Every structure is written in structure tokens, then in C-alpha cells.
Amino acid sequence: MKQNIYDNEIFFNGYSKIRENENNANNMFEKPALFSLLPTLNNKTVLDLGCGYGEHCIHFVEEGAKRVVGIDISQKMLAIAKAENAHQNISYLNMPMEDIGELQEHFDIIVSSLAFHYVEDFRALINNIYRLLNDGGVLLFSQEHPFNTCFSDGSRWTTDENGQKLFANISNYSIDGERESTWFVERVKKYHRTFSMIINTLIESGFQIDKLIEPVPTPEILKENPDYKDLLHKPDFLLIKATKGTSRL
């Protein structure tokens, strides 16, 4: 099922308020890690899956990409992208990631920021990405960390008698599949996958795994933002860079 939660008015407004805070976790950890994994973009073609506001698309053009296609299922997101991050080398398409097999062009780099955990059929998505990449092309994506996606009910933390967090609780990690949670609205659907399922799917589809990052705060960040010490117990994000080979095994 293709979920379009970002066009829900309540959800979209709540999400927008988080993004207005410059010290949000995306800006502090996920985005720097994602950009650190980018290959050289000069004269490259890029597909951004779940492009949101289009901020990454603009960055790719500024780094030299000759063409960027940003797709998103949310019309609200794309309205902002077209208004605030338009460029002659960027095309924005209202399309769910599940339908990228309909695209008629190939790309050097495919990027996705915090969107894959909304897709039910991960294997089909990765197979489509493989077909859309040129030989030697790069897939780079971030998603919610599996320690996050596995959990859906009960208390998220075990605390001491003073309410200090001791460790994060994890449940049903080894069971892949749909999870529902409340985030601004009830029944937000996400899909949990174990590390092994994620990695093996990439390998079986023909990708070579280049690097993984689970970003955590530096001592300098913790000094200014002590609440982020939670990430030392449980990283919020997982980032993976993989390369398409010239042939599949």
C-alpha cells in the first residue's frame, strides 16, 4: 500500500514545525552523514527518491549535477520544492517510489533521505533502483535505524528511580514487517527490516556495499545539545552507500 502521510494536514504541520528548528536531528546528524557519502556530482545525473522540499536537489545542482529528478508522493512537499528550490536543471515529479519502474531514463546516482522505511516491498524497490542505475552507479540512502523501526508499543526507555534513561527498549527486532505508531497522527505505517534483510537484499540485487554510517553526536554537539545523548544508546539513523556492478551474479 502506498502511504501518503505527508499530505495529511495535521501531520504536515507537525513535521514542518520540527524542520523549522535548525538543531533538529536531520540537520545535525542525518544530512551531514548523507552528504559525506556523496560521490563527485560534476556532470552527473541524479534521482532523488522522496525529495521532500527539494533542498537536496538544489545541493546536487550546486555540486555540479547536470540533471536532477526529484520525486515525491506528497503534493504538499512538491509545492514547497517548486516554490523554494526550483532550478532549470531540476525536474519534480509527483510519483510514489513504488512506481519508479515507469521512468524511462537512467541515472548515475540515486539518493533517498529517510523515505525507504515507508515502502512495503523493499526488494522490488531495490530491484527497480538497480535497473535505473548506470553501470558503476551509486545508491545512497538513509532510513530510520532498525532499532527504531522494530519498536511500536510500550515504553521506549527503561529509566532509573530518578527518571534518567538507562537504555532503550527493543521489541520484535527479528520480525520484519509493518509497524504502526503515533507521530502527530495515529496509525502512521512504517516497515521494519533487520540489518541482515537490508544488506542481503542489496547484495542479492547486485550491489556492492561500500559504507555504512550510524551517526552519533560528537562531544562538541553534546555540550551544546545534551538531549542528544539518547543517540549514544540508540542511533536514530542508518545510512548505506552501495555501487552497482557491471554485471549481476
> What is the pTM for the complete model shown?
0.92
What is the assigned CATH class of domain 5-37+48-144+192-244? alpha beta
Strands 90-94 and 67-72: parallel
Q: Yes or no: say if 28 and 231 are a contact pair by the CB < 8 Å rule.
A: no
The DSSP-derived string for 26-52 is IIIIIHHHHHHT----TT-EEEEET-T
Domain residues of the chain, as ranges? 5-37+48-144+192-244
Nearest to 194 by CA among 175, 181, 209: 175
pLDDT in tens, the chain (249 residues): 577 766 667 666 776 777 777 788 888 999 999 999 999 999 999 999 999 999 999 999 999 999 999 999 999 999 999 999 999 999 999 999 999 999 999 999 999 999 999 999 999 999 999 999 999 999 999 999 999 999 877 788 999 999 888 889 888 999 999 998 776 666 788 999 999 999 999 999 999 999 999 999 989 999 999 989 999 989 999 999 999 985 443
Q: What is the pLDDT of residue 24?
A: 85
Angle between helix axes 122-132 and 195-204 (nearest 10 degrees) is 40
Measured at the CA of 2, the angle between CA 7 and CA 206, to 5 degrees, comes to 125
Q: What is the pLDDT of residue 249?
A: 38
